[in-house]
Chains A and B, each alone.
Chain A
Amino acid sequence: MSGRDYGQKAGSPYAPHTDAETAAMLEAVGADDEGDLFDIPDAVAFDGEFGIPARSEREIRAELRETLADNDDLTEFLGRGHYSHYVPSVVDHLADRAEFLTSYTQYQPEIAQGFLQALFEYQSMLVELTGLGIANCSMYDAATALGEAATLADRVRSTSGDVVLVPEQLREGKRSVLANYCDGADLAVETYPMADGNVDLDALRERAGEDVVMVYAENPTVRGCIEEQLADVGAVADEADALFVLGSDAVALSVLEEPATVGADVVVGEAGALGLPAAYGMGLGLFACREEFLRQVPGRLVGASEDATDRRAYTLTLQTREQHIRKERATSNICTNQAWVALRAAMHAAHLGPSGLVELANDCVREATDLAERIDDLSGYGAPVHDRHHLREFAVRTDQPAAAVADEVEAAGFAVHTIGDHLLQVCVTDLNADAADELVAALEAAA
């Protein structure tokens, strides 16, 4: 009984044909059965089975509920590039409206004004947050946005260089994605050192030269440190005639130094810090750049125009940059992007407003500062490891092996990052700050 979905037909429940309809349609096309319509030679036809049993909605929901219940119920103090903040219910309810969720890319703008306007608004918010002239309407995630920035640097820089410089402290996965994008463009990813959690400016200055096409820095860094000499990093890049690409996220940007004022040419990062709950690493790639790179921007752009009645209307524009027109000379291969996540991020930003956004970011600084202090007070720990200001997260030195501490803390119900033999990393936000006392207690017990 539980296996039945009452009233649903055999075959695909989402193919609405009655037997009579199928018969009438087959007759109209002059076929005896559907198999006649397939022009697949026997030699390559498949007549086996996948062995996938069809289940009812109810069964699948129960199955997946049970399966996911096998995830341990941990309070996460995790960040390092994947951030979540409380997303108000209104975002789910509005974004899940079928008119948004089940729509396609806006190739017929006359009947897609709603989504186009929402994406235009999203782009505008990023223009405000970055201070740069252009933002596209999404990349897949921060890592692929960084890869796209490197290929952009390669296209727009007149120097013959082939080196992309990245900080020593960088998420390994991000570096790996970047390397995959760089390889095809014959670019080499090289590392510059850091000094106490910030860019080692002297070392960077020494390394930067004619062969460098791009300098990448993050604010905050992957360890949550706020960079203190960003304008100098920008100046070093500029002197080397290299693009200055800055990594950040939509929340941090609302309070940290404006990228445009420190000389950033491109801003990439995670815009899914807004609008998206913890989603196992699914993201929203932020990509903004200076206006002069307009024709070299990867991804879709929404622009304003007028319709035949002279009203303002929106449309995908400058599509000659894109793969469906420009093919192998396109600025990127991206087609399907993260538009719906961008919609969610814009809704969340609109709901917070500038005051809410700034308060949230400020709290991320305060909570990190407080928690680091409390952990530092415990014996067996030192925090923050770097003598810097932090946003959301910070590194912790452990006397015990860090992995053993993390295991013990996990057994007590908390997840933290292990980033070195004697290094942990802890991320605190509006979502887990109320469990900070318990985390501190668990760390104390594990020391």
Chain B
Amino acid sequence: MIYDQASYTREEEAQHEPLLSEKDETTVDVREESPLPEELTRDEVTLPELSEPEIARHYTRLSQMNWAIDAGAYPLGSCTMKYNPKFTEDVAANPDGAVHPDRSSRSVQGTLEVLYGLQEYLAEIGGMDAVTLQPPAGAAGEFTGIRVAKAYHEANGEGNRSEVIVPASAHGTNFATAALAGYDVVELPSDEDGRVDLDALEAAVSEDTAALMLTNPNTVGLFERDITEIAEIVHGAGGLLYYDGANLNALLGRGRPGDMGFDVMHYNVHKTFATPHGGGGPGAGPVGVVDELAEFLPTPRVRETESGSGYERFEPERTIGKVQGFEGNWLVLIKAYAYIARLGDEGLADAAAKAVLNANYLGERLDLEIPYGPYHHEFAATSGDRDAADVAKRMLDYGVHPPTTKWPEMVHNAMLTEPTEIENKSSLDDLATAFNRAFADDDETLENAPNRTTAARIDQTSAARNPRLSWQALDGE
């Protein structure tokens, strides 16, 4: 039990921790000291004004009301919540790397060398020919990849291809990305086994097909065994095959998207390569492509100089331009480089092996049914007629973070679980116990859960019906 003085002494109060604005709000007259003429300034600004000790207490207190991978397992399916090696923070904090992106290539040789090295590593790992590090997250990588595919089709006089095919079980970003890039989305049903239905794919492809977006293993952990046929069908129709790298952790050292016929892929370095998610971001979503697509990648990329004595930025010949204002999320990319270097070939393969072993071991210990298999790094259990979200809330009471719930939809009341390689056997046993106990608890207990968390069950309906999105909107509440 955490000693939680704040909540004892403030028992009567209506919040778990007061807002900064409730601790102090100060209004400053902007014009009083302004070097600017009055008409170019605002008149005042009102914000919290706290001393450093108060700030340290505030955020330390907030941190104590937050789950984290360092606190315990975070088996969110599809999210690959791995331990984030501490030393990668130290390499990222090196002030020599704190440079502005508009520096001349000549003066940032060190930065370019790290970026070049990471491009090379990722190309090897994915079986791709060329890599851009610019996209700032997985979804941005998808957008980049689909924009590249579009540029490629246009360059071939096939700019009228108007559809992107997305399996029904795909992540929401795949659909949203295709739409953002201006494509019509064709949803592909799964077959009975939970994989791509080849007949349905045959029927879906046409001269309108720009690309098929696929993750492999798919979102219930199954390897798309027919990947060679899938590639043939898509390529046969003149489309490109896009690999969503969110599940790459399961393949490390055992399969490469490039060898499976994928033409373009993103890497989710905040999943596969253990960079911290930071409460939702930042991540990075580098994109790898086969040779034919390299000339369309975002600008700039990094290469060795002709003499081989250094590195330079260059603009790919028919670049799509930029997808982030500068050159991506540097602080994330350097951590990914350090992680890959720490593991090397053997460690990367071991990560995949243990991730798959862990998922299978955990699955074996659950009382819940797992409709699809054989699965790899993750599985979708079903809570049957019990509400998966309720079971998840109850799991909080058993001291663990629950899995992703109610997705993908192909599994009713899905509990998509991905323990990753970092959990040991006893931690998996604890997780299984939490799962099984929550699953066995009665309906009322589930509906009233959680009870042992900072906040009890939070009213989602009230949050959405009466949106209060700032302290200004609370209005004295």
A55 near B327 (CB under 8 angstroms)? no
Complex alpha-carbon distance, A280 and B97, angstroms: 8
A335 near B180 (CB under 8 angstroms)? no
Residue in B closest to A88 when the chains form the complex, CB atoms: B52
Q: List 26 A-B contacts (CB under 8 A).
A: A10-B346, A12-B347, A13-B342, A14-B422, A37-B353, A39-B225, A81-B326, A82-B326, A95-B59, A101-B276, A114-B61, A117-B17, A121-B19, A121-B21, A124-B19, A127-B472, A140-B136, A173-B325, A177-B321, A177-B325, A256-B40, A257-B42, A258-B42, A315-B463, A333-B180, A339-B282
Asked if A341 CB lies within 8 Å of chain B CBs, one says yes
A94 near B59 (CB under 8 angstroms)? yes
Asked if A31 CB lies within 8 Å of chain B CBs, one says yes
User: Looking at the complex, which one of B33, B59, B60, B71 makes contact with A359 (CB distance below 8 Å)?
Assistant: B33
User: Looking at the complex, which one of A69, A115, A140, A282 makes contact with B140 (CB distance below 8 Å)?
Assistant: A140
Given contacts A67-B114, A117-B17, A255-B42, contact A109 B455 (CB under 8 A): yes
Which residues of the partner chain B approach A323 to less than 8 Å between Cβ atoms? 139, 171-173, 175-176
B136 near A144 (CB under 8 angstroms)? yes
Residue in B closest to A349 when the chains form the complex, CB atoms: B47
Which residues of the partner chain A approach B351 to less than 8 Å between Cβ atoms? 11-12, 14-15
Given contacts A38-B356, A99-B64, A114-B66, contact A171 B45 (CB under 8 A): no
Residue in A closest to B404 when the chains form the complex, CB atoms: A107
Asked if B364 CB lies within 8 Å of chain A CBs, one says yes
B36 near A46 (CB under 8 angstroms)? no
Classify chain B's interface size.
35 or more
Which residues of the partner chain A approach B127 to less than 8 Å between Cβ atoms? 46
Digitize A266-282: 1 where CB-to-B-CB distance is under 8 Å, 0 elsewhere.
Answer: 00000000000111111
Within the complex, the shortest CB–CB distance from A435 to chain B, in Å, comes to 14
Asked if A128 CB lies within 8 Å of chain B CBs, one says yes
Asked if B214 CB lies within 8 Å of chain A CBs, one says no
Which of B197-205, B233-241, B252-260 is the contact stretch?
B252-260
Complex alpha-carbon distance, A151 and B33, angstroms: 39
Residue in B closest to A369 when the chains form the complex, CB atoms: B35
Complex alpha-carbon distance, A102 and B113, angstroms: 28
A90 near B99 (CB under 8 angstroms)? no
Classify chain A's interface size.
35 or more
User: Looking at the complex, which one of A17, A110, A340 makes contact with B450 (CB distance below 8 Å)?
Assistant: A110
Asked if A246 CB lies within 8 Å of chain B CBs, one says no
Given contacts A127-B470, A280-B326, A355-B26, 19 further A-B contacts (CB under 8 A): A12-B347, A13-B343, A40-B251, A52-B341, A74-B103, A78-B102, A90-B52, A100-B66, A103-B69, A108-B392, A118-B62, A120-B470, A255-B34, A282-B332, A326-B172, A340-B280, A340-B282, A343-B278, A354-B28
User: Looking at the complex, which one of B91, B98, B425, B455 makes contact with A17 (CB distance below 8 Å)?
Assistant: B425
Given contacts A12-B354, A109-B455, A302-B469, contact A78 B279 (CB under 8 A): no
Residue in B closest to A181 when the chains form the complex, CB atoms: B180
Residue in B closest to A261 when the chains form the complex, CB atoms: B42
Complex alpha-carbon distance, A6 and B20, angstroms: 45
Which residues of the partner chain A approach B185 to less than 8 Å between Cβ atoms? 327-328
Residue in A closest to B361 when the chains form the complex, CB atoms: A25
Which residues of the partner chain A approach B95 to less than 8 Å between Cβ atoms? 277
Which residues of the partner chain B approach A330 to less than 8 Å between Cβ atoms? 172, 175-176, 179
A333 near B143 (CB under 8 angstroms)? yes
Within the complex, the shortest CB–CB distance from B453 to chain A, in Å, comes to 4
Complex alpha-carbon distance, A17 and B473, angstroms: 50
Asked if A306 CB lies within 8 Å of chain B CBs, one says yes
Complex alpha-carbon distance, A176 and B342, angstroms: 36
Asked if A4 CB lies within 8 Å of chain B CBs, one says no
Asked if B70 CB lies within 8 Å of chain A CBs, one says yes
Restricting to A26-82, which residues have a CB under 8 Å from any CB of B?
A: 26, 28-29, 31, 34-35, 37-41, 43-46, 49-57, 60-61, 63-65, 67-74, 76, 78, 80-82
Which of A182-190, A206-214, A374-382, A436-444 is the contact stretch?
A182-190
Which residues of the partner chain B approach A24 to less than 8 Å between Cβ atoms? 425
Which residues of the partner chain B approach A21 to less than 8 Å between Cβ atoms? 424-425
Asked if A400 CB lies within 8 Å of chain B CBs, one says no
A143 near B322 (CB under 8 angstroms)? yes
Restricting to A273-320, which residues have a CB under 8 Å from any CB of B?
A: 277-283, 294, 300-315, 317-318, 320
Complex alpha-carbon distance, A281 and B98, angstroms: 10
Within the complex, the shortest CB–CB distance from B443 to chain A, in Å, comes to 16
Complex alpha-carbon distance, A314 and B279, angstroms: 14
Asked if A98 CB lies within 8 Å of chain B CBs, one says yes
